Amino acid sequence: MKTIIGNWKMNVGVRESVALARGVLYALRGKSVVPEVVICPSFIALSEVRKITAKSRIALGSQNSGFLETGALTGEISVRQLEELGVSHVILGHSERRQLLGETNEMIQKKLALAVKHQLIPILCVGETREEREQGKAKEVVIAQVKAMFAEKISFKKFPLFFAYEPIWAIGTGKAATPADAVEMHQVIRQTIKELVPSFSEKQVSILYGGSIDSKNAYAFLREQEVDGVLVGGASVKLSQMREIIDAASDALESTLSLT
Ligand code: PGA
């Protein structure tokens, strides 16, 4: 399967979110081979967007969740509240939260444990800075981020898990990594996870690429077997781009079907 996740960040309000969700729904209509699509509006738009995605092929995701299950955490949203809104996925550890809001590995680990407890599918973001890549430390940094997420034992059983490899230098810059860079890092992440949680089945863990994905470069990533999908930021709030990215995923899926 291929998965397209739209991370709408703080870019659109409620009305625009509803219109976008409708547009994505239409984009999937009539297609026989479709990717899995998850849209992640801001908290304020979740309820309204849910009215459109309910009983559709689109899944609803949140951009974050609080690290406590409930209680005193002003300004945060708990997994319980997200569950109530019909959210099925949650982005955790996005680099914007790590870098600009001081989110630590420990916080991300707690959020992961709570997400799994409440059956929200985590989308765990990892990635290195430009400096770290230039110093030849990219793999080391990403491996450390992955390991930190599994620092405490969590019972995953058969629960699915997404990783998003998002090099920080590629986010919002218009300069995506190359598909070859992504494939290389995805292999490293897959191997690290296998060592950390040997009980995971192959299908349980999906690894996506994120960072300046648009309608022009999406297919080059999606056609790679190692790339289970893409996490799209800026381009995901432009309906025409999103439509073409979905088409690219359908094409990639069709070409793998024709090979089997
Ligand atoms: P971008 O963002 O596609 O705008 O680079 C990706 C992300 O932050 O998830």
Q: In order of start, what are the domains of the chain with their CATH numbers?
A: 3-236 (3.20.20.70)
So what's the pLDDT on residue 157? 86
Instruction: Decide: pTM greater than 0.85.
Output: yes
Helix (H) or strand (E) segment spanning residue 58: strand 58-62
Task: Please give the mean pLDDT across all residues of the chain.
Answer: 96
Residue nearest to atom 6 of ligand 1 (CA): 233
Which numbered atom of ligand 1 lies nearest the CA of 231? 9
Q: Compute, in angstroms, the gap from residue 167 CA to the centroid of ligand 1.
A: 10
The strand pairing partners of 205, in sequence order, are 161
So what's the pLDDT on residue 104? 96
Residue nearest to atom 7 of ligand 1 (CA): 233
* Cβ atoms of 248 and 209 closer than 8 Å: no
So what's the pLDDT on residue 13? 97
Residue whose C-alpha is closest to residue 239's, from 4, 89, 46, 24:
24
Write the secondary structure of 132-176 as one string of H (helix), E (strand) and C (coil): HHHCCCHHHHHHHHHHHHCCCCCCCCCCCEEEEECCHHHCCCCCC
- Tell me the catalytic residues: 94, 166
Instruction: Show Cβ contacts of residue 141 under 8 Å, excluding neighbours closer than 6 positions.
Output: 128, 129, 132
So what's the pLDDT on residue 81? 97
* Cβ atoms of 24 and 39 closer than 8 Å: yes
Please identify every stretch of the chain with a pLDDT value under 50, giving residue numbers as ranges.
none
So what's the pLDDT on residue 260? 62
Which numbered atom of ligand 1 lies nearest the CA of 212? 5
